[in-house]
Amino acid sequence: MNKSLPPKTISGFSKMSKLGKIRWIVENFFKDPERVMQELKQYWLHREEDQKILDAISENTITTFPMPYSVAPNFIINGRTYCVPMVTEESSVVAAASSAAKFWMTRGGFHTELIDVEKVGHVHFVWRGEEAKLRQHFDELKALLLEQTAELTANMRKRGGGIRDIDLRTVVEVPIAHYYQLVVTFDTCDSMGANFINTVLEAFARILRQYFLTAPHFSDAERDVEILMAILSNYTPQSRVHAEVRCAIEELGEIEGYSAEEFARRFKMAIDIARHDIYRAVTHNKGIFNGVDAVVIATGNDFRAVEACGHSYAVQDGLYRGLSQCSLDDGTFRFWLELPMAVGTVGGLTRLHPIARRSLELLGFPSAKELMQIIAAVGLAQNFAAVRSLITTGIQKGHMKMHLNNILLELGATEEQSRAAVEYFKDKTVSYRAVADFIRQFKNSC
Ligand code: MEV
């Protein structure tokens, strides 16, 4: 093989064997193919059946990508104790969540409440007939849609869910003439429901097309319907949860040299800034999603869906706002968050992924509703910890402690060198250069 050629493109890659794929990759993109081949294979899961599951979940899988799987203990949520699984690559996230959980453990814990679990999807179509006529016959269409998907929805209905309602919507903001949406709301019980919803919506699209073709009250000119797409919406403001912590202000105690009153006042200011300034709000919400995503990933759920939904909810009134709020009325510190999301505890990866399954077991096999509340509580805890640091010590103190460990790992420091470095950098600024210099001098002095 001519190594001076630029990396090649390939056809039929997906049909190649796994080893064939790896060989093609290492030979075309790496300087030391044999070594990289071994490395990639090293990260295959030990149990062949587990690796096969991962291979089947995605396409062109050549290895696995390890991430730290951590737990944050001591989460008291509605009086029940949870040890929460978290998958994140960011130092300090789990330490911060754990520390906030511990802080609130002795102050009543987290109080959460499910608002609803309604999901929504749309069939988008263009139809050039009389809107009034469509509306006049809409109940008939609705009955047909329900009747002809009864088999598809039977299982979900047996579990207590299914289609909640079907509506017809015109969207004036969309600059397309004669454009309509069938708005379909669902309860998908303990599943996130994406497959169920999309299957039903695609069936609706077919039924809709047939309806215009055959219903006797439409003229020939009205038989033509252009179905554009049928898809769930990841914006699910009606699938929402509320999480809150509260205590008497004096119960907050002294925090990093600030009196409880001073801390509460500064805390509220920080939350209010995020409510009104987009620059702060985005970072503030990113901090919330540090915790949210970590649990969503650990339980095999779709973190892109949860993020997309949460951020859109943050801008629901036109200004992107911090998702959490704080009040200090009547001597009480209240800090809360409302978060929409769609997650599941059955279906998808949740039971298939070997570790996601264990995450759910660790949480006591929660229902989707309970999982939503756990996730929101962790998001709130994460936000509390971040803002607590920001308004007291600053976040770099904690971050740099973790960062120091990463640098020491990267430098291959021994245990003795690491211990000395941790002691030395207690009150000094950590940088790669400073740590490397310290290790060099330490070695020389021994
Ligand atoms: C860092 O990942 C998250 C924070 O920036 C969040 C915040 O500023 O609130 C600490």
The yes-or-no verdict on residue 222 having pLDDT over 80 is yes
Q: What are the tens digits of pLDDT across the range 394-405?
A: 987 777 777 898
74 alpha carbon – ligand 1 mean position (Å)? 22
Model confidence at 1: pLDDT above 60: no
8 compared with 174, residue with greater pLDDT: 174
- Whether residue 6 has pLDDT greater than 80: no
Pocket test for ligand 1, best of 288, 387, 395, 397 (most atoms within 8 A of CB): 395
List C-alpha distances in Å: 236 to 105, 118, 196, 310, 437.
31, 7, 16, 9, 52
Q: How are the residues of the chain apportioned to helix, strand and coil, as percentages rounded to the nearest 5? A: 50, 20, 30
More confident site: 431 or 237: 237
Give the start-to-end residue ranges of the domains of the chain.
1-66, 69-116+237-393, 119-233, 398-445
Using the predicted structure, report yes or no on whether residue 271 has a pLDDT greater than 60.
yes
Report the atom number in ligand 1 closest to the C-alpha of 395: 10
Q: What does pLDDT average to over the chain?
A: 95
CA dist 197 and 186 (Å) reads 7
The average pLDDT across 110-116 equals 97
CATH code 3.20.20.150 for 69-116+237-393: no
Higher pLDDT, 347 or 67: 67
pLDDT of residue 400: 78
How much is the pLDDT for 69?
98
- In our burial notation (b when 16+ CB lie closer than 10 A, e otherwise), range 418-445 reads bebbeeebeeeebeeebbeebbeebeee
Check whether 3 has a pLDDT greater than 70: no
270 Cα to the center of ligand 1, angstroms: 12
| Ligand 1, atom nearest to 93 Cα | 2
Known catalytic residues are 90, 286, 302, 399
Residue type at 22 in one-letter notation: I
pLDDT above 70: percentage of residues in the chain: 98
**CA distance to 62, 124, 147, per residue, from 135 (Å):** 53, 16, 19
Per-residue pLDDT averaged across 321-330, rounded? 98
CATH of 119-233, one of 3.20.20.70, 3.40.50.300, 1.10.645.10, 3.30.70.420: 3.30.70.420
Dist CA 71 CA 91 (whole Å) = 13
Q: Across residues 76-100, what is the average pLDDT?
A: 96
Pocket of ligand 1 (CB under 6 A): 90, 283-284, 286-287, 290, 386-387, 390, 395
Instruction: Give the position, in ligand 1's atom list, of the atom nearest the Cα of 90.
Output: 2
The tens digit of pLDDT for each residue in 11-37 reads: 999 999 999 999 999 999 999 999 999
Percent above pLDDT 90 for the chain: 91
Overall average pLDDT of the 350-357 stretch? 89
| pLDDT tier at 435, thresholds 50, 70, 90 | very high
